[in-house]
Amino acid sequence: MSIPQSGGGPIERFEQLAEYMAAGEKPHENWRIGTEHEKFGYLTDTLQPVPYDGPRSIRALLEGLRDRFGWAPVMEQDKIIGLTKNGANVSLEPGGQFELSGAPLASVHEVRAELEAHLAEVKAVAEPLGIAHFGVGAAPIWRHEDMPMMPKGRYRLMTDYMGRVGTHGTQMMYRTCTVQVNLDFSSEADMVKKLRVALALQPVATALFASSPFFEGTPNGHRSWRSRIWRSLDDSRTGMLPFAFEEGMGYQRYVDWVLDVPMYFVYRDGHYVDARGQSFRDFLKGELPALPGEKPTLSDWADHMTTVFPEARVKKFIEMRGADVGDAAHIVALPAFWVGLMYDQTALDAAWDLVKGLDAETREGLRVAASVSALEGEAGGVKLCDLARAAVGLSHAGLAARGLGEEVHLAPLMENLRTGKVQADRWLDLYRGDWQGDLTRLYTAAAL
């Protein structure tokens, strides 16, 4: 999840909210790829989650990366909660999931190199501490009471609020891991087309990358339990954004939606001020109960934008949010898939042609089907295996058109389509076969 944002000074005109998004527009030659992935850490002798403090801890990992590899610390109060170096960040999810938010890079090959370097650094620090990491979309065995809480103020506020508005919010916060990619747009029209394609094809990503068929020690009936969790989290700030496909969609329409999402907090002087359930519209009028008489800055707006969680999210770039994390090859395949679709105009136009006939009911049906059945899913007469095959084909063509040889990184997805099985299916086969129901085998099988 996000660290406090640096969006800018006072909001003096309502139009600044949309202008903040428009400021992200970039010419094609300046488009970059920002990949983020989360992973679970565990103590190798007990298979328990890694606590924040102590000799074998998240804090020790962060300090080791700082001291050995030159990362600069990010502090909250007197606690180290993250790291930064060369445009990349290491941060913590609520339950200690270790996240890399990569630097903006020019190619998928660079994404792969960045990932390999990061995993090597983490392993070098973690192994002597008896800590290891693995990549699946949901914690296969741990229960909520097993999970530590990271010392970040926003998580304390969110944990309580999540329990009020949905049934699965704390599961998302503490026991899921994702991989996502952040991509650029050149104009408002380009943003709209990319957002529509991203939303409509997010079920394909959910299906292709599904890796979370277990929860609390048993098969859960879904290929992506992480995706299932998001459907019962907080309807006001999640979902497939049907309005994005309506006439008049643009920056302002997205702003209007975000303004109607209840607030979590305001960040002031190193502290999170509790504004749960309050209205950013009231904040703009100086009528926020948490800070009476005070009006927001663009940094406050940027923070609020990080508290909405649709399947694809817009800030100064577009985030693709529908995939479970997996092995290293799948982590790199995620940006490859979306770059191929989004960064070649012919592929983007063809992708829109592929999905523009889907109605809101079918898009939502595919989202549900992907979480339950992955590539075997179907809704509204559309088979996810067919839609995925077409989308991966377009992505392959788009990457080939870039002329960098990046299409090699689609290999895991090509194999999934060839076999009809994704990571979740393979884990289930092993669980029912060689593992004889021993889920602890997954910790090393999914090692990162």
**Is there a domain that residue 4 lies in?**
no
The residue that leads in pLDDT, 274 or 159, is 274
pLDDT at residue 371 is higher than 60: yes
What span, in angstroms and rounded, lies between the C-alpha atoms of 253 and 244? 8
**Is there a domain that residue 3 lies in?**
no
Provide the pLDDT for residue 159. Answer: 75
**Is there a domain that residue 250 lies in?**
yes
Provide the pLDDT for residue 368. Answer: 98
Provide the pLDDT for residue 4. Answer: 59
**Is there a domain that residue 369 lies in?**
yes
Could you tell me where the DSSP H helices lie in 306-377? Answer: 328-342, 345-355, 360-373
Number of domains in the chain: 1
**Is there a domain that residue 10 lies in?**
no
Burial class (CB in 10 A: 0-12, 13-18, 19+), 27: exposed
**Is there a domain that residue 1 lies in?**
no
pLDDT tens-digit readout, 426-442? 999 999 999 999 999 99
Over the chain, what is the mean pLDDT? 96
pLDDT at residue 224 is higher than 60: yes
**pLDDT band at 157; cut points 50, 70, 90:** confident
pLDDT at residue 303 is higher than 70: yes
Lowest mean pLDDT among 79-93, 149-163, 357-371: 149-163
CATH number for the domain harbouring residue 153? 3.30.590.20
Q: Span 9-17, mean pLDDT?
A: 96
Provide the pLDDT for residue 139. Answer: 97
Q: Span 388-398, mean pLDDT?
A: 98
**Is there a domain that residue 395 lies in?**
yes
pLDDT at residue 152 is higher than 90: no
Containing structural domain, residue 121: 16-445
Q: Span 351-355, mean pLDDT?
A: 98
Q: Span 39-59, mean pLDDT?
A: 98
Whether 199 and 244 have beta carbons less than 8 Å apart is answered as yes
What is the percent of the chain with per-residue pLDDT over 90, rounded to a whole number? 92
Provide the pLDDT for residue 2. Answer: 55
Q: CA-CA distances (angstroms) from residue 83 to 23, 41, 101, 264, 448?
A: 26, 17, 10, 24, 20
